[in-house]
A and B are shown apart, each in its own frame.
Chain A
Amino acid sequence: EAQVTQNPRYLITVTGKKLTVTCSQNMNHEYMSWYRQDPGLGLRQIYYSMNVEVTDKGDVPEGYKVSRKEKRNFPLILESPSPNQTSLYFCASSLIWTISKGLYGYTFGSGTRLTVV
């Protein structure tokens, strides 16, 4: 089944303790992205990657890191989480971005609900 898989689904952590949320897709998609969803703010883009070893900042990149060493994986790293990073996070992927974005949009993962206390 074609899908984007995020882990974990739920995570409670303490301020300052480094964590990684994994994201993997099995569709050979070039483009991958991370979003956070907050009440009243919709989905905001954190980082995106056009292809392996190519990453760019989205609208809210502060406090996050990403890497794209392989095509299928795009982990989100919080080096020192803070309570304002408590949110619902989505990973998404898309085929060749410039061609497909208007036709297929993204395939999203099921989300990771992160709570930082």
Chain B
Amino acid sequence: DQQVKQNSPSLSVQEGRISILNCDYTNSMFDYFLWYKKYPAEGPTFLISISSIKDKNEDGRFTVFLNKSAKHLSLHIVPSQPGDSAVYFCAASAGNQFYFGTGTSLTVIP
């Protein structure tokens, strides 16, 4: 059973606007949540993370929000740039393992 879910397979956004990628999870024992970005023919690269004791973490144009009561995680990209076009995976850790979502393909339209 998928413990981390990304229900939107794809998202298109105009350049300069905000991109919001969403992720839901089921396991209340997750202690860290991360976002990875993946370009075609490359491995995923780490983008940003948040501890379960926080509700927001910001790094430049990227902000991750955590709503533990709703078991919901979101990544905000502001402003969106064409180079942000990629597949984004959310992931959550419990113990010695990470669990990944199925990914959301973001297209930023120039």
Contact = CB atoms under 8 A, between A and B. Distances in A.
Interface of A: 4, 31, 33, 35, 40-45, 48, 50, 56, 58-59, 90, 92, 97, 101-111
| Band of interface residues on B | 20 to 34
Given A111-B42, A111-B43, A106 B32 contact: no
Contact of A109 (B6, B36, B43, B101): B43
Instruction: Pick from B34, B98, B99, B101 the residue with the most CB of A within 10 Å.
Output: B98
A35 to B, nearest CB: 8
A36 to B, nearest CB: 11
B102 to A, nearest CB: 4
A108 B43 contact: yes
Given A42-B2, A43-B89, A108-B45, A56 B96 contact: yes
A83 to B, nearest CB: 22
B44 A90 contact: yes
B103 A102 contact: no
B58 to A, nearest CB: 15
A103 B49 contact: yes
Interface string B23-48: 00000000110101000011111100
Nearest to A91: B43
A48 B97 contact: yes
B74 interface: no
B108 interface: no
Given A41-B102, A45-B98, A102-B31, A110 B42 contact: yes
19 contacts: A4-B43, A33-B98, A40-B102, A41-B102, A42-B2, A42-B103, A48-B96, A90-B43, A101-B98, A102-B31, A102-B32, A102-B49, A102-B51, A102-B93, A104-B49, A108-B44, A109-B43, A110-B42, A110-B43
B32 A101 contact: yes
